Amino acid sequence: MADTSTATIIDYYTFRYREDQRLRSRPCNRLEWRRTCELLDELLPAAPARILDVGGADGAYARRLVTAGHRVRLLDLVPAHVAQARAGQPTIDAAVADARALPEPDDAYDVTLLLGPLYHLPEPADRRTALAEAVRVTRPGGLVVAAAISRFAGPLHFAATRRWSDAMAGAARLLAADGRNDPGIGFTVAYFHRVEELTGELQAAGLTRVTVHGIEGPGWTAAEAAADAPDADVVFDHALALARVYGHEPALLAASAHLLAAGTVTAGTTG
């Protein structure tokens, strides 16, 4: 990722978007929070584990993990996010860093989380570097957990929120072809994954026993479409139930807005 792209991302999260409010906003974001927490509870070892939260933003997940008894260090590209993480309660050990060059020693953590960096790295070489760094700092037998945005999330969201158009149809076809987000349509510098691609990237990094989970499940678009309806809470609860039932169903993974992949570090892995 070029320096201009890095600056664009920092500018977006500093001046144009409140990441610290995102997980409490739209139904899809609340589903993302609930299901990511549940999946982390399934995947992570018992506390106290040493966890590195790379791209941890304002520390929403890190605070929950610290409260559960884990020892967490947070790294993020955006200085404003790091300041928010340090200011919250409980206090988070946090520093500014790039996922492609982690200022951490080898084998230092039981778990490394990448819950954002991969979808801000459009270049395959940068994603390989970020995953290699995550593997490097995680002990043999430890876990790397990485989030990605599904290739189809953007167009599905546009349809669910009544913003579909002929122009969006053209953009959706381009996105399906190469996965690169057009910041002119929305969001910022980003890359959207196919399920098999995400699996392959973790395996290429040397991770074993790789699994991919659909976070929001196939009902998230219904929850979005019903956001202002009188029965919005009922639709949300049903979407959450669907996510729990089908979150591990291979045929429906790509229907989620986000994917969560996990793999085990083996001795001698170099990424």
Six token digits for residue 65:
């993990």
Burial tier of 133 (Cβ tally within 10 Å: 0-12, 13-18, 19+): buried
State mean pLDDT over 16-39: 95
* Contact status, residue 215 vs residue 244, Cβ threshold 8 Å: no
Is it the case that residue 2 has pLDDT exceeding 60? no
Helix count and strand count (H, E) for the chain: 11, 8
Structure-block tokens of residue 59: 């520390």
Q: Rounded to an integer, what distance in angstroms lies between the CA atom of residue 40 and that of residue 37?
A: 5
Distance between start and end Cα atoms, the chain = 19
More confident site: 120 or 186: 120
CA distance 188 to 14: 12
Q: Does residue 252 carry a pLDDT above 70?
A: yes
Residue 221, pLDDT above cutoff 70: yes
Indicate if the pLDDT at residue 267 is higher than 90: no
Dihedral angle at the C-alpha atoms of 96, 99, 103, 105, nearest 10 degrees?
140
Residue 199 confidence class, pLDDT cut points 50, 70, 90: very high
